[in-house]
Structure 1
Amino acid sequence: MVTGDGSYIKKINRSLILQTIIGHGIISRADLSKVVGLNKATISVQVSDLLDEELIIETQQEHSGVGRKPIMLSLNRDCGYALGIDLDYKHITFTLSDLLGHPVLAETLPLTTSDYDTIVSLLTDRIKKYEQKCSDSRYGMIGVVIGIHGTVGKDEKVYFVPQHQWRDKDLKADLAKEIEASIHIENNANLSAFAEKVFNYHDSDNLLCVTMYSGMGLGIIMNGDLLKGYDGFAGEMGHMVIFPHGKPCPCGNRGCWELYASESKLLAQLAELKNKPDITYKDVRNWIADEDPAVCGHLDQFFEYLAIGLNNIINLYNPESLILNSDILKMQPNAIDKIRGHLHSKMSHYRELSISVLGKDACVMGACAMALKNFLEVPELRLELPSQQLPLTVSNGSGTTAAL
């Protein structure tokens, strides 16, 4: 039996009230009382506190009926901002969002080095600039969450990043020496899965998200919570061996799944095939549209290798929703049908197989959402997808971020 004093109960009620306001977007006190199941007096006290803190605002709803216009409550989305960062192999993406997870600034910086100290310095400089941009709001920058393409422990230390060859780095502590805002470090696939849950699959409590860009990762949500494993390393399915004695992997094994089914490896194969080192997604799209036989042959093999890993994942976790985050899959007509064509096992059970609409924004969107959840202290966060994603400002690292 869970027990607690008055302040503890008040905190729980506050969380539920705030969560309900966010989930509904706009709601009256009377409806809030009905949904949460608290009496009007309790609602009134809590709402008064939230108004004083400027976390919520009041507006009058337009209506054509007789009588007073109802006073509606909604989140004060501009009273603070969250910074999400996707620290990938060849670039770093920054997205600053309001308290509803809608991006207000976005920027990507190319990375030409794997030197840890250089990247820490770059991150520190950029985060400070974003802090300054948020300084006029009531709460300023409410938190920073950084997505890492590697193993991140429950202690938020970075234990291994294969593509940068980083080992045992305490990025959070190193940044905290210069940054005042709250900082959290998380695996990028976990953040992508969290974004899918928060923005798209609100009612799916058993969700898997496979990220397929520079490598392959698996974000796992089971019973509504991120599944991280004993140390926090669960989900490194890109390093699941599908070919014994196969290609050597930077992780130390051979025949890892991401060597055969990640976008980066497919693009490298196509670049070699076409003798075109600067291959782009537009090139791939055109080759698919032209039904280039050599490219289609590589893609058929890509789908087969992808399905091998997915079959293993499905048998391990029996997911409700299995989401594949890949730009190349979006280009391929009937991609889902092609994948299903390789899933023959009668043991495999899942409810839904789909391609993510979030794309490469998933990690930073999940990072922003996690910072918001931590700041608002709500048990569950349900946000609406932004009606329009911001185009990224591509910078060489010497300029400043412009409002978009």
Structure 2
Amino acid sequence: MVTGDASYIKRINRSLIISEIVKHRMISRADLSKAINLTRATISAQVADLLEEGLIIETQLEHNTVGRKPIMLSINGQAGYALGIDLDYGQISFTLSDLLGIPVTSAAIELNTTDYSEILALLIKQINQYKAEFSESRYGIIGVAVAIHGLVGKDETIHFVPRFKWKDIQLKNDLENKIDLNVFVENNANLSAYAERVFFHHDTENLLCATLYSGIGLGMMINNQPFKGHDGFAGEIGHMIVVPEGKQCSCGNKGCWELYSSESSLFSYLTEKKQVSHLTYKQIQQWLDDGDQEVAELMKQALYYLSIGLNNLINIYNPEVLVLDSELLRMNPASLEIVKNHLHSSVSHYRKLAISSIGKESSILGACALAIKHFLDVPILNLAHERE
């Protein structure tokens, strides 16, 4: 019989209990015992500790049946707060959520520099302001997670951010040395995939999320774990070649997928073709509504090339769920059927193709969820999105 250290077993049991409470939102001790097959004595001892720590709360459930009113356990959302940061070219976005992943406050700051030292100072200032503002809660800020639009290694080193021209940046260490909080640094597409799994697709172990904004990135959840590849660089799928000897890409290759299907490529083309500065989604929608044939044909072509890339992804990964994160697709939900109609290979298998309902908030909400996961020390989270 294999035995383990008592403290290790206690930690595992604690993780199981917290995970189940998060999953059910509210659950009784008796149902908790049945769900994870632990004795009531073990449940009672662990629950007592969690109550004392302020991580969970008790609620007496009101009902009309005869008998004792059940006492329900739930996570104390206000015990602490997670800070998610989306560090993008031209803007830094901040979202603070409670321990249930519910956003409490959000803000965005215009970024007029790419200088690392200036951006680091700005991040430190903003984080310390949040830290001071929420210091009266039991655990204050429980962690900070930063979404990076570039290559992030398994050790959380930022190896390359194309639009900032950053190489081998130690943002995690630099922040932790100044703010005295746990900091996590992750690629934005990985965090988008994590958010989709955590907030919506709870029954999915294998999920892909393709983000189509400034390029095309791919976040992958395989067996409920982020898939990052050997160095952590997996998911740079925008540089998959879909048109041999096609358009020249900044990566050095020709015919990369993101040159044909990303929103940035479409925006660049229309900005030049239509001679419009500060092009917006609303303007593109207006052109489509007005029956502009050139814009309609461009969208049709983008969906065609999108389908080519998706067909490759499906054949490689055989995902349960494939989520497309694109504002243009959300504006035109009929686009999803057009894409599906292009996926007619007899060997392509997936359970569900969906447009993200979270949108551009996905990476920052994924950042909040990542910080919560580490704080609660659980393998996976099942949180309810506020729009549900």
Asked whether the two chains share a fold, i.e. TM above 0.5, the reply is: yes
Matched to 1:131, the amino acid is K
Equivalent-residue separation in structure 2 for 1:142 and 1:3 (angstroms): 33
The 3-state SS of whatever aligns with 2:79 is: coil
Matched residue, 2:124: 124
Alpha-carbon distance, 1:3 to partner? 4.2
Matched residue, 2:363: 363
Equivalent-residue separation in structure 2 for 1:190 and 1:92 (angstroms): 18
Equivalent-residue separation in structure 2 for 1:148 and 1:2 (angstroms): 42
Cα deviation, 1:54-88, whole Å, max 9, x if unaligned, reads 00011111112233322111110001000011111
Matched residue, 2:242: 242
Matched residue, 1:393: none
Percent identity over the alignment?
56
Cα deviation, 1:339-382, whole Å, max 9, x if unaligned, reads 12322433322111110001001001100001000000112210
Q: Is the 8 A contact 1:288 1:332 kept in 2?
A: no
Equivalent-residue separation in structure 2 for 1:133 and 1:67 (angstroms): 44
The 3-state SS of whatever aligns with 1:354 is: strand
Equivalent-residue separation in structure 1 for 2:2 and 2:237 (angstroms): 37
Matched residue, 2:264: 264
Structure 1 residues 95, 321: closer, same or farther in 2, change over 3 A? same
Q: Is the 8 A contact 1:190 1:219 kept in 2?
A: yes
Matched residue, 1:394: none
Matched residue, 1:219: 219
Matched residue, 1:83: 83
Alpha-carbon distance, 1:333 to partner? 4.3
Matched to 1:277, the amino acid is S
Equivalent-residue separation in structure 2 for 1:243 and 1:174 (angstroms): 41
Equivalent-residue separation in structure 1 for 2:93 and 2:263 (angstroms): 18
Q: Structure 2-normalised TM-score?
A: 0.97
CA-based RMSD of the aligned residues comes to: 1.5
The 3-state SS of whatever aligns with 1:265 is: helix
Equivalent-residue separation in structure 2 for 1:321 and 1:282 (angstroms): 29
The 3-state SS of whatever aligns with 1:78 is: helix
Structure 1 residues 246, 146: closer, same or farther in 2, change over 3 A? same
Matched residue, 1:4: 4
Q: In the comparison of the two structures, how many residue pairs are matched?
A: 388
Structure 1 residues 239, 102: closer, same or farther in 2, change over 3 A? same
Does 2:376 correspond to 1:351? no
Q: Structure 1-normalised TM-score?
A: 0.93
The 3-state SS of whatever aligns with 2:342 is: coil
Equivalent-residue separation in structure 2 for 1:43 and 1:59 (angstroms): 17
Matched to 2:23, the amino acid is G
Matched to 2:235, the amino acid is G
Equivalent-residue separation in structure 2 for 1:365 and 1:205 (angstroms): 19
**Runs (4+) of structure 1 moved beyond 6 Å?**
none
Matched residue, 2:279: 279
Cα deviation, 1:112-137, whole Å, max 9, x if unaligned, reads 22222221111111111111122010
Q: Which runs of 5+ in 1 are unaligned?
A: 389-404
The 3-state SS of whatever aligns with 2:168 is: strand
The 3-state SS of whatever aligns with 2:307 is: helix
Q: Is the 8 A contact 1:163 1:250 kept in 2?
A: no
Equivalent-residue separation in structure 1 for 2:264 and 2:111 (angstroms): 16
Alpha-carbon distance, 1:244 to partner? 3.3
Matched to 1:5, the amino acid is D
Cα deviation, 1:283-333, whole Å, max 9, x if unaligned, reads 112122222111101101111121121121111111111100001001124
Q: Is the 8 A contact 1:205 1:224 kept in 2?
A: yes
Cα deviation, 1:241-299, whole Å, max 9, x if unaligned, reads 22333333333333221122111111121222221111111111212222211110110
Cα deviation, 1:367-398, whole Å, max 9, x if unaligned, reads 0001000000112210011138xxxxxxxxxx
Matched to 2:34, the amino acid is K
Structure 1 residues 170, 139: closer, same or farther in 2, change over 3 A? same
**Where in structure 2 are the equivalents of 1:282-293 lying within 5 Å?**
282-293=282-293
83-92 or 354-363: which moved more? 83-92
**Where in structure 2 are the equivalents of 1:25-64 lying within 5 Å?**
25-64=25-64
Equivalent-residue separation in structure 1 for 2:367 and 2:278 (angstroms): 30
Equivalent-residue separation in structure 2 for 1:229 and 1:350 (angstroms): 22
Matched residue, 1:311: 311
Structure 1 residues 263, 301: closer, same or farther in 2, change over 3 A? same
Equivalent-residue separation in structure 1 for 2:215 and 2:131 (angstroms): 31
Matched residue, 1:392: none
**Where in structure 2 are the equivalents of 1:120-199 lying within 5 Å?**
120-199=120-199
